[in-house]
């Protein structure tokens, strides 16, 4: 692991090249994760404001 001066950590994961990770379409994967995160935040805010019981 390599700490970054601005925060975060870079992790060296041997074998990722052999798995083909560098050619994976991560934009779709991260797009789905971003959509889920936005949905969670929106629902969390509704619950926090008392707009529905939970």
pLDDT at position 16:
65
Closest CA to 26 of 12, 16, 11: 16
The per-residue pLDDT for 45 is 79
In the Cβ-directed half-sphere of 34, how many Cα atoms lie within 13 Å? 6
CB-based contact 4:10 (threshold 8 Å): yes
**Which tokens in the block code for residue 49?**
């404001």
How far is Cα 1 from Cα 9, in angstroms, rounded to an integer? 6
The predicted pLDDT at position 54 comes to: 52
Q: What is the pLDDT of residue 32?
A: 79
Does the pTM surpass 0.85? The reply is no
Query: CA-to-CA distance for 12 and 32, rounded, in angstroms?
Result: 25
Could you list the pLDDT tens digit for every one of the 54 residues in the chain?
A: 788 888 888 877 776 666 666 666 666 767 778 888 888 888 887 877 777 665
């Amino acid at each position: 692991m390599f700490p970054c001066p601005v925060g975060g950590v870079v992790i060296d994961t041997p074998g990722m090249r052999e798995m083909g990770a560098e050619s994976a379409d991560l934009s779709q994967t991260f797009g789905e994760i971003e959509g889920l995160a936005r949905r969670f935040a929106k629902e969390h805010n509704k619950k926090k404001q008392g707009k529905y019981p939970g």
